[in-house]
């Protein structure tokens, strides 16, 4: 056997063994690398807690987004909710399109899923829950202790809003975002009030 053939044979055997080793290592792990959202790392490393893309419709069981006032929030108008965890903060983003143009709406995180009636979504979600006699007390009802997402639509009925809070929602208690007819009030005795409940979006957190 020539020296050249011998060197070629050794090199080929080395490559084969290396390839087998790599294949075995992958098989030993048993699973492929998960996508960023499967392992909870979302955008820029922030854990992705919820993503909802839906069109508003009249209530039916299993509906993602419900309108209770089809003039203010028309059937077929769209909504997107994105919730991420960023260190000690939770970041909420709400986007809507197809609503009434140049209108101001209130919006808050609520404690229950959307239901057939507007009241089904329950009260505002609060990090530190207010006593029963403090339902409109600004000490508890504010945009630090709650997630407020008020917005004003443009001439096309489109809007985006964000709320960044320095707490993480308790699992299973925060189930929807409710859109209201008015901007949220902050005065004592009226804090948190925002008019009629026009629509609701289920947010599974």
pLDDT band of 19, cuts 50, 70, 90? very low
Same domain, residue pair 11 and 64: no
Phi, psi dihedrals of residue 93, rounded to the nearest 5°: -130, 130
On the question of pLDDT at 27 being above 70, the answer is: no
* 38 belongs to a structural domain: no
Q: Give the mean model confidence (pLDDT) for residues 170-199.
A: 94
- Measured over the CA atoms of residue 40, residue 129, residue 54 and residue 93, the dihedral's sign is negative
Coil vs helix vs strand at 119: helix
User: Which of residues 133 and 138 earns the better pLDDT score?
Assistant: 138
On the question of pLDDT at 1 being above 60, the answer is: no
Same domain, residue pair 28 and 56: no
On the question of pLDDT at 186 being above 70, the answer is: yes
Share of the chain above pLDDT 90, in %: 69
Q: Give the mean model confidence (pLDDT) for residues 89-104.
A: 98
Q: Are 135 and 188 in contact (CB under 8 A)?
A: no
* 5 belongs to a structural domain: yes
């Amino acid at each position: 056997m020539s020296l050249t053939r011998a060197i070629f044979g050794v090199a080929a055997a080395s490559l084969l063994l290396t390839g087998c080793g790599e294949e075995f290592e992958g098989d030993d792990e048993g699973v492929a690398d998960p996508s960023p959202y499967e392992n909870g790392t979302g955008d820029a490393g922030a854990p992705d807690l919820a993503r909802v893309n839906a069109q508003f419709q009249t209530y039916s069981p299993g509906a993602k987004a419900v309108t209770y006032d089809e003039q203010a929030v028309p059937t077929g108008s769209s909504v997107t909710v994105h919730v991420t965890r960023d260190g000690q903060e939770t970041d909420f983003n709400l986007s809507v399109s197809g609503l009434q143009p140049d209108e101001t709406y209130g919006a808050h995180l609520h404690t229950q899923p959307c239901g057939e009636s507007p009241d089904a979504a329950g009260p505002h979600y609060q990090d530190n829950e207010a006593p029963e006699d403090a339902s409109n007390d600004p000490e508890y009802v504010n945009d630090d202790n709650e997630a407020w997402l008020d917005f004003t639509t443009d001439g096309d009925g489109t809007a985006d809003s964000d709320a960044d809070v320095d707490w993480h929602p308790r699992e299973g208690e925060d189930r929807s975002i409710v859109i209201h007819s008015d901007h949220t009030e902050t005065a004592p005795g009226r804090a948190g009030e925002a008019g009629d409940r026009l629509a609701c979006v289920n947010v599974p957190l």
